[in-house]
Amino acid sequence: MSADTPLMKEPDANPEGATPTGSTTDRAELIRFTDVTKRFGGTTILDRLCFSVDAGKHVTLIGPSGSGKTTILRLLMTLTKPDEGTITVGGQQLYPASEKQCREVRKNIGMVFQQFNLFPNMKVLRNLTEAPVNVLGLSKDEAEQRARELLDLVGLADKCDAYPTQLSGGQQQRVAIARALAMRPQVLLLDEVTSALDPELVAGVLDLLRDIARTTDITMLCVTHEMNFARDISDQVLMFDSGQVIESGSPEKIFGDPTHERTREFLGAVL
């Protein structure tokens, strides 16, 4: 774990117009949000949000429902666009940017969804090979070999020829994790990946993610309500409220000695 600089909280910095893009790239900074605002209808979900994540770090976003955590992942995955501000990934701008540039940046990012979102019309193996073949240009054999290795990693080597609906929720989510990893992303976004699972299936998925966090140098951004899991895998925890990071720090600090009143309230309610 590094010093306390991988994530910078700058809640009130940057008066209008000031966008310090590219000013801090020398620290292997991978992701940077600068003054990002996102509104849905009349509601402001993210309010001039600034933070950054260094390469290889595991960051957990916690906070009450509606505080904008999932929106951050969706912005990074280009599933939604910010109303204001800039987002950079690996020094390349994701917003504002052309569709072509977005596509390039997006290739380095994988996402696992709450509802798995596997392709039900494809067998498990093809769920894992579809993008590597059609996006990365791997041969079918290469992609299948990679897929089989990943299915082995997630403990589902025998399910290559099953359809997703023939699997349990936990198995589907493990396939979804393997599918995201098949693209060898630099960044993995995990959006409440155990929320839709039966309680007895949660542990298997979390153990798998702990393994991945421990054995790879992939950068992880994780929205979760599993506080023990957050404590285990995180280098950094960000506490969100009302579209802002109100507190950030190591899991020991956030869970052990939170400074912000709102953080204490929230943790008191969920722990």
Residues lying near other proteins in the complex (CB under 8 A) are found at 77-79, 103, 106-107, 109-111, 113, 115, 117-122, 130-131, 134-135, 163, 165, 179-180, 183
What phi, psi does 123 have (nearest 5°)?
Answer: -65, 165
The minimum distance between CB 65 and other proteins, in angstroms, equals: 19
Which of 182, 205 has the CB closer to other proteins? 182
Which of 135, 270 has the CB closer to other proteins? 135
d(CA 9, CA 98) in angstroms, rounded, equals 28
The minimum distance between CB 108 and other proteins, in angstroms, equals: 9
The minimum distance between CB 213 and other proteins, in angstroms, equals: 19
d(CA 219, CA 163) in angstroms, rounded, equals 30
Question: What is the DSSP track for 75-128?
Answer: HHTTSS--SEEEEEETTEEEES--HHHHHHHHTTEEEE-TT----TTS-HHHHH
Which of 6, 82 has the CB closer to other proteins? 82
Q: In what order do the strands lie in the sheet with 58-62?
A: 109-112, 187-191, 219-223, 58-62, 236-241, 244-249
Which of 130, 232 has the CB closer to other proteins? 130
The minimum distance between CB 252 and other proteins, in angstroms, equals: 32
